[in-house]
Amino acid sequence: MSYREFVGLIHKSTKRDYLARVTQRDKAEVSELAIQYDHDYWDGSRETGYGGYKYDGRWRKVADAMATAYGIKPGMRVLDVGSGKGFLLHDFAEAVPGIEIAGIDISKYGIAHTMDDVKPFVKVGNANKLPYPDKHFDLVTSITTLHNLYNYDLHAALKEIERVGRGAKYICVEAYRNEREKVNLMYWQLTCRAFHTPEEWAFVFEQAGYTGDHEFIFFE
């Protein structure tokens, strides 16, 4: 299991007003809207989620880097757990023509608004029980999704990723290294359920038998 920086290629530190996040509007109220993973989360106000999650091509850099690092070639299968609107899968299909893509997301809205070329290959579902055969995928990715699960579902999801993957695996989750980053994370997040340090994540991975790569996002 290695630490790999893929999301870091496009994730730039931006100035965040953490205090305003909890004072400008009732944080509990906006979190309740966000965890429905409906319009408010994807295309509503920035207070309740992405504030309009639109394709801009940024994930192509991540797809290219993963394809190179993991040797993804035509005919191979790639699964994205928490595929959202399918942006990464779209860029993967363009980066490596001829691969088989698949995606799953708990959000009916996200799946309904997935990019047209990706939509036939995605479905609504939970990461804790993936509807795919054992050892089916050459690469399984999950980006900023698994920290949204309670520990029991997180454990199950990691085991499922191991089960359906026959090759490389990569996940990216939020974490904190000190008290300031913990407070910032708690202020900024809307849907997070698992608040862990890198050391705690290592324990979680080990307990679930997860053998793939990982990356963390910190709120400095």
pLDDT digits (tens, 9 = 90+) for 110-168: 999 999 999 999 999 999 999 999 999 999 999 999 999 999 999 999 999 999 999 99
Give the C-alpha separation, 176 to 167, whole Å.
29
Backbone φ and ψ of 98, nearest 5°: 100, -5
Count up the domains in the chain and report the number. Answer: 1
Residue 172 confidence (pLDDT) above 90: yes
Q: Residue 15: which pLDDT band, with cuts at 50, 70 and 90?
A: confident
pLDDT of res. 77: 98
pLDDT of res. 169: 98
Residues in the chain: 220
Asked whether the beta carbons of 77 and 136 are under 8 A apart, the reply is yes
Higher pLDDT, 21 or 162: 162
Give the C-alpha separation, 54 to 130, whole Å.
26
Q: Give the angle subtended at the CA of 10 by the CAs of 117 and 80, to the nearest 5°.
A: 40
Distance from chain centroid for Cα 4: 15
Higher pLDDT, 22 or 169: 169
Q: Give the angle subtended at the CA of 84 by the CAs of 53 and 205, to the nearest 5°.
A: 125
Q: Residue 22: which pLDDT band, with cuts at 50, 70 and 90?
A: confident
- Strand order across the 100-105 sheet: 122-124, 100-105, 77-81, 137-143, 165-174, 213-217
Q: Residue 11: which pLDDT band, with cuts at 50, 70 and 90?
A: confident
Q: At 187, which CATH number? A: 3.40.50.150
Q: Is 182 inside a domain boundary? A: yes
Q: What is the pLDDT of residues 27-53, one digit of tens each?
A: 999 999 999 999 999 999 989 999 999
Q: Is 39 inside a domain boundary? A: no
Asked whether the beta carbons of 32 and 88 are under 8 A apart, the reply is no
Q: Is 20 inside a domain boundary? A: yes
Q: Is 1 inside a domain boundary? A: no
Orientation angle between helical segments 87-95 and 59-70, nearest 10 degrees? 50
Residue ranges making up the domain that contains 68? 7-26+57-217
pTM of the model: 0.96
| Interior/surface letters 198-213, b for 16+ CB within 10 angstroms, e for the rest | eeebeebbeebebebb
Q: Is 48 inside a domain boundary? A: no
